[in-house]
Amino acid sequence: MNKKLSKKDALEVLTILEKTYPNAKAQLNFSNEFELLIATILSAQCTDVRVNKTTDVLFKELKTPRDYVNLGEEKLAEKIKSCGLANNKSKNIINACIMLEENYDGKVPDSFDELIKLPGVGRKTANVVLSNAFDIPAIAVDTHVFRVSNRIGLANSSTVEGTEKDLMGIIPKERWSKAHHLLIFHGRNICKARNPSCYECSINSKCLYYKNNVLNLRK
């Protein structure tokens, strides 16, 4: 039983998804790399819709790392409480802002290795910032990307880092960033965690899950 698609089939999957979701792009609202960094930290275990409602108010008041530091953890936690995990996120954001001021002249670095040094910034957040703020090819593996890519056969890994590595190996570099958004859109609309809409799926003819599970149930 095949566990991964061929590169040819993988490219066909991406082409089909591009036609299915022509407007696939980042759903977090931001106007610069610093705002995207804050929004992405807030998005952990929270919907983009909820984050956007929070940052719509937050970004009008707080513009720079110094603004957040001056506000302090307690007051920031109150402003972001609707995003969940407010105390932890507030602490990470304040400490990240302190580090930005002390080590990067208040600017968000455009290096993966430097980004992941910031509190609250893991592989996913770093790749989101690189891809969407700096237009540097990257694949951010969130819950949707992890589920969809392993389900359809673009990846075969039990870890986020392994999935990222698989995707980088099977998808051309110039398509990494777009692929990230396509997989998220597909995960939200069709390839859901529970009860995926396999019969409505535009890529079911290539999908290994569909071939190995859904079709077998019909036989």
pTM: 0.93
Which residue of the set 4, 9, 89, 142 is catalytic?
Answer: 142
Question: Domain containing 178: what range?
Answer: 7-23+139-218
CATH number of the domain at 189, please: 1.10.1670.10
| Residues 18, 38 share a domain | no
| Residues 163, 187 share a domain | yes
In a domain, 1, yes or no: no
Cα 38 to Cα 36: distance, rounded to the nearest angstrom: 5
Q: Which residues touch 36 (CB under 8 Å, ≥6 apart)?
A: 26, 28, 30, 128, 129, 132, 133
**Is 97 assigned to a binding site?**
no
pLDDT of residue 179: 97
Q: Are 68 and 62 in contact (CB under 8 A)?
A: yes
Clarify whether 124 is annotated catalytic.
yes
Q: How many domains does the chain have?
A: 2
Q: Which has the closest alpha carbon to 128: 56, 180, 186, 52?
A: 180
Which residue of the set 4, 89, 124, 206 is catalytic?
Answer: 124
In a domain, 2, yes or no: no
**Is 46 assigned to a binding site?**
no
Clarify whether 107 is annotated catalytic.
no
| Residues 111, 182 share a domain | no
In a domain, 159, yes or no: yes
In a domain, 178, yes or no: yes
Cα 178 to Cα 170: distance, rounded to the nearest angstrom: 14
Q: Are 167 and 149 in contact (CB under 8 A)?
A: yes
| Residues 155, 121 share a domain | no
**pLDDT in 10s for each residue of the chain, 219 residues:** 578 999 999 999 999 999 999 999 999 999 999 999 999 999 999 999 999 999 999 999 999 999 999 999 999 999 999 999 999 999 999 999 999 999 999 999 999 999 999 999 999 999 999 999 999 999 999 999 999 999 999 999 999 999 999 999 999 999 999 999 999 999 999 999 999 999 999 999 999 999 998 876 655
